[in-house]
Chains A and B, each alone.
Chain A
Amino acid sequence: NAGVTQTPKFQVLKTGQSMTLQCAQDMNHNSMYWYRQDPGMGLRLIYYSASEGTTDKGEVPNGYNVSRLNKREFSLRLESAAPSQTSVYFCASSQTGWRTGELFFGEGSRLTVL
C-alpha cells in the first residue's frame, strides 16, 4: 500500500519548456488535489478534483492544467514553464464522507525553472 505516489521527485526545466507531474493514489479516494509550496507562503491550492471526471480551479491555477485520468491518477501540466513556477508541488487525496478533511499527501516534487 503505497498511498500517494508522485513522479518525478526532482526536475529542472528551462523557461518555456513543458512537463507533466504525475500523481497516483491506491486508497480508492474520490478527491485529489495539487498544491504548491513556496518559502513563507504555506500551501496554496492549484487545482482539485472532487471526483472522477471533474476538476476545479483553486487559489493559484494560472499557468497550469490538470487531468483526472481515472479515479487513481491526477496529473498537473505546465505548458510553458516560468521561473515563478519554481516550487515544491504536493499531490494529495481524500475520501469524501464522514472523514472529510483528512488529506493524504505525497512526498512532493521539487521543480526548478531556470
Chain B
Amino acid sequence: LAKTTQPISMDSYEGQEVNITCSHNNIATNDYITWYQQFPSQGPRFIIQGYKTKVTNEVASLFIPADRKSSTLSLPRVSLSDTAVYYCLVAALGSGYALNFGKGTSLLVTP
C-alpha cells in the first residue's frame, strides 16, 4: 500500500490559490489518487480523484506529474469556508483495500 506524505498545516488568505502537495513515492501502476475534505465534526467527503495528468471539477484541480510520485491539489480563490483538513489517499482498483488516511493537511483560511 502506497504511503503518502503531506504537510501538516497550511495558512492562506481569502481569495488566494492554495496548492497542497502529496508525496507517494511507491505508488503502484493500478493506484488512483484521491483527495478528501473534512470539516470539524463531520466525516470526510470526496473532492477529486485522478490517475495521471490533470483533473478538474467544480471544486478543485488535481495535478499529477508523469512519474506519479506526487500530486497537487489546487483550490482556486479560497474562502473562509475552505478551512478544513485535506487528506490524500492512494488506492488500487479491484477489491476493497485498507484505505489509510493519515493526518492530512489542516488548511486555515483567514480574511
Contact = CB atoms under 8 A, between A and B. Distances in A.
Interface in A27-83: 30-31, 33, 35, 40-45, 48-51, 56, 58-59
A1 interface: no
A98 B92 CA distance: 9
A94 B96 contact: yes
A45 B103 contact: no
B42 interface: yes
B34 A101 contact: yes
Please indicate which of the listed interface residues A4, A43, A48, A97 has the most CB atoms of chain B within 10 Å of its own CB.
Answer: A43
Given A42-B103, A45-B99, A45-B100, A101 B49 contact: yes
Contacts of A58: 98, 100
Contacts, number: 82
Interface residues of A, number: 34
Contacts of B42: 105, 107-108
Contacts of B32: 100-101
Contacts of A50: 95-97
A98 B17 CA distance: 30
Given A50-B95, A90-B43, A103 B36 contact: yes
Interface in B23-40: 32, 34, 36
B92 A48 contact: no
Interface string A8-35: 0000000000000000000000110101
Contacts of A90: 43-44
A90 B41 CA distance: 11
B105 to A, nearest CB: 10
Given A43-B87, A106-B43, A107-B42, A51 B99 contact: no
Contact of B99 (A49, A99, A101): A101
Interface of B: 32, 34, 36, 41-46, 49, 85, 87, 89, 91-104
